[in-house]
Amino acid sequence: MDVTSGADAPWLVVGLGNPGPEYAMNRHNVGFMVADLLADRIGGKFKRAGKAQAQVVEGRIGPPGPASRRLILAKPMSYMNLSGGPVNALRDFYKVPLAQVVAVHDELDIDYGVLRLKLGGGDNGHNGLKSMTKAMGPDYHRVRFGIGRPPGRMQVADFVLKDFSSTERKELDYFVDRAADSVEALLAEGLERAQSTYNS
């Protein structure tokens, strides 16, 4: 069942990742990194969300006045491949239309640091998206953060669960900052304008 849209229905921005300090700097956790930066920008701290298996921050984003958007930032605490349940529970609780859900996630088929914003589509083998789509359907926004393909014969599962390399970390803060900017642009200006700026 979809949630009906309201004039001030919030946006639900979900950073995908795995909970726990051992995963914190993994490539698979770049969604958490972007969510943490957005929380800093709105001056909030993540807290456990009632019965939902997630941490959330509530606030507003964008310039003061009518252009600002109500925002629920979330980090599922269920592990990546079970993200859909907590996200759908939050969507029901906050009455968020599916088209106002944004998943921020790592993307293997895009070069490191490159962003691609889109609405809907497949999961491309990403277990977090697969779980979200199973729970809610595919018609939510995605902010895809490129991490590139594994080198040599390294398995994909090993690659995504490794920390960013020392070379990658030199630019990681810049790319995470740009990804957070793209989320703000998506909410404030809509998909097409955000795509024209950030889909490099």
Between CA 87 and CA 83 the distance in angstroms is 6
Contact 96, 48 (CB under 8 A): no
Catalytic residue positions? 28
User: If you ran DSSP here, which 8-state letter would residue 64 be given?
Assistant: S
Contact 110, 144 (CB under 8 A): yes
Residue keyed to tokens 């849209």: 5
Crossing angle (nearest 10°) for helices 84-94 and 127-136: 40
Q: If we measure between CA atoms, which residue out of 18, 57, 54 comes closest to residue 41?
A: 57
CA distances from 39 to 49, 56, 94, 122, 159 (A): 15, 9, 18, 28, 27
CA distances from 188 to 20, 30, 80, 104, 193 (A): 32, 22, 28, 16, 10
Angle at 94 between CA 90 and CA 97, to 5 degrees: 90
